[in-house]
Amino acid sequence: MLAALAFSVASSSAALAVQSVALKRPVAISAAAVENEGKTLAIHFNDGLKCRFHSLWLRDACRDDAHVAKYAGERLLTATPVGPSGVIPSRLRASAAEVHDGEELRIHWDEESMCKHELAVDPPTVSMFPAAFLRAYAEVVAERIIEPEQADAAQPSVGDALNDELAWLRPYSAFQNAPAPRPEEMCLWKNDGGLELPVYDHDNVLDVESTANLRMLQDVVRYGAVIIDGCANPGVEGLHNFADKALGGLQKDPTRPKAHWKIVKKDGATSVSYDHLKRLNQHTDSSIPPHGLPALCLLFHYAEGTGTNTLTDGFAAAAQLRAENPLGYALLAKYGYDGERDFVASRADSTQQFNRGLVVSTQVPMLQLDDAGELKRIQYNEVFRMPLSLPYDIFPRWYAAFDRFVELLHSNDFERQIPMSKGRFILMQNWRVLHGRAGGRASANRVLVGGTITREAFYSQARRLTRERRAFADVAQEEELVLRRRAD
């Protein structure tokens, strides 16, 4: 059965090619001039773009060592223009601009920009900017004077290379208008013997010389789930080791001293999660999130025993519902269902200890759409659903669509069974794939250990791994800008 699940990750189309640095055209500044009595600067770049920046924007945006604590990544309060500072924003004027080798711009600030201040350190009188930083922000914050030349398609710019490397992460950025994944960015699947889930080797993912970690992250959002086999030390320690090194760490629930959960068989359990022989419906984890946003990923593995877990590609099932009943699909996307979870009571059968009560109520749509109306997240767990507060005239149509969608999620057409045994991990995209447990298949000694991974941890890990594979070390500012612009 394991062989049937095998999938050649080496040939995975999700392994996005990291652009060669040799393809990048270096960004340079051709000229810079102070204008408008120091209130603005005109900057000419080597791709032909000439544009105008506010002096105050430049001073406020400066990230050099005089303005930002290098290792802490914090603004120096003695240099920032606002607050108890020696800089007067309304009087800020540039007095001179120097271009060094085309790569760096230095701006000198007029004495009139400064005043007496209570802080011990004088604010800096010079600000330095890399050319690539200014070119990236020019697209967003500057006034255009001369348009850039047409880009040479055969020679992509730095911006194009960043776009290509980071495009797959756009749906998982923190920007409010982050788009849903595009159809070409996902491989949807059913239970038809077609596409198999990628399988990774545990030690290969953790090998810092390998690209497997980054490819695994790309695959989990492309395929919705991946399998990781070969963990030699399954259990709590093995889970944390893998999550910390490959996924940016586990999310900690405020009611639990440890970040992981552990499910051990309990006779007479009141919670279905701990009754290992019962069928557990397909659901997303952190459907009632203790931190506001459901975790992007769920990672779990068998520390002991065997069993069968079930997975459904919720986006594939939702596409079916949309085709069958577009109005019902729209109702599930518009009207939220009521949910509530008592985080301590729902874990009454756990062997773990819980430190305090936490009761969270929600009313979110099961199907959540982006600004363009495309599906970006599914959020649903039947066990925590509360009496619906839908209007009288909406309820019948909403419930019919809800009933059909839940039927699809559990149907033989969409639900897959994944055999699980000691040392096997499943990592899934929890905003898309629903999981559960087949009834009557678990061994008595089955021990499940897992946890959730926040969007922030996943995104940070993906960006760090991408950056490590580039020749230039740290361009976080431009990366964020690329993602934000592409989200617009």
Residues at the contact surface with Fe ion, assessed by CB under 5 A: 285
Query: Which helix (DSSP H) or strand (DSSP E) does residue 319 occupy?
Result: helix 314-324
CB of 401 to Fe ion, least distance (A): 24
The DSSP secondary-structure symbol of 26 reads: P
CB of 393 to Fe ion, least distance (A): 34
Question: Which one, 415 or 478, has the nearer CB to Fe ion?
Answer: 415
Question: Which one, 285 or 304, has the nearer CB to Fe ion?
Answer: 285
Structure tokens at 213: 């970690």
Cβ neighbourhood burial of 37 (10 Å; 0-12, 13-18, 19+): exposed
In sequence order, which residues have a C-beta less than 8 Å from that of residue 483 and are 6 or more positions away? 166, 169, 170, 173, 175
Instruction: Quote the CA–CA distance of 429 and 243 in Å, as a whole number.
Output: 14
Instruction: Quote the CA–CA distance of 218 and 243 in Å, as a whole number.
Output: 16
3-state helix, strand, coil in the chain (%, to 5): 30, 25, 45
CB of 283 to Fe ion, least distance (A): 6
Instruction: Quote the CA–CA distance of 15 and 429 in Å, as a whole number.
Output: 17
- Enumerate the β-bridge partners of residue 452: 298
CB of 300 to Fe ion, least distance (A): 8
The DSSP secondary-structure symbol of 9 reads: G
CB of 284 to Fe ion, least distance (A): 8
Q: Provide the residue type at 222 as one letter.
A: R
- Enumerate the β-bridge partners of residue 88: none
In sequence order, which residues have a C-beta less than 8 Å from that of residue 239 and are 6 or more positions away? 250, 260, 299, 300, 301, 303, 449, 450, 451
Instruction: Quote the CA–CA distance of 200 and 226 in Å, as a whole number.
Output: 7
Question: Which one, 313 or 478, has the nearer CB to Fe ion?
Answer: 313
Question: Which one, 86 or 289, has the nearer CB to Fe ion?
Answer: 289
Question: Which one, 12 or 287, has the nearer CB to Fe ion?
Answer: 287
Instruction: Quote the CA–CA distance of 289 and 285 in Å, as a whole number.
Output: 8
Question: Which one, 275 or 285, has the nearer CB to Fe ion?
Answer: 285
Kindly list the distances between the CA atom of residue 438 and the CA atoms of 29, 171, 442, 468, in Å, as whole numbers in the listed order. 62, 31, 8, 41
Question: Which one, 285 or 479, has the nearer CB to Fe ion?
Answer: 285
CB of 484 to Fe ion, least distance (A): 32
CB of 333 to Fe ion, least distance (A): 23
DSSP string, 231-270: -SS-SHHHHHHHHHHHSS-PPPPTT-SSS-EEEE--TT-S
Select the residue whose beta carbon is closest to Fe ion and give its number.
285
Question: Which one, 85 or 286, has the nearer CB to Fe ion?
Answer: 286
Question: Which one, 55 or 281, has the nearer CB to Fe ion?
Answer: 281
Beta strand 447-453 pairing with 337-342:
unpaired
Question: Which one, 162 or 428, has the nearer CB to Fe ion?
Answer: 428
Tell whether the torsion through CA atoms of 361, 367, 371 and 376 is positive or negative. positive
Closest CA to 45 of 138, 153, 107: 138
Question: Which one, 198 or 450, has the nearer CB to Fe ion?
Answer: 450
CB of 435 to Fe ion, least distance (A): 6
CB of 241 to Fe ion, least distance (A): 22
Structure tokens at 118: 């209570």
Q: Provide the residue type at 56 as one letter.
A: L
Instruction: Quote the CA–CA distance of 303 and 237 in Å, as a whole number.
Output: 10
CB of 161 to Fe ion, least distance (A): 39
CB of 100 to Fe ion, least distance (A): 56
CB of 347 to Fe ion, least distance (A): 12
Question: Which one, 47 or 285, has the nearer CB to Fe ion?
Answer: 285
Contact of 235 with 334, CB cutoff 8 Å: no
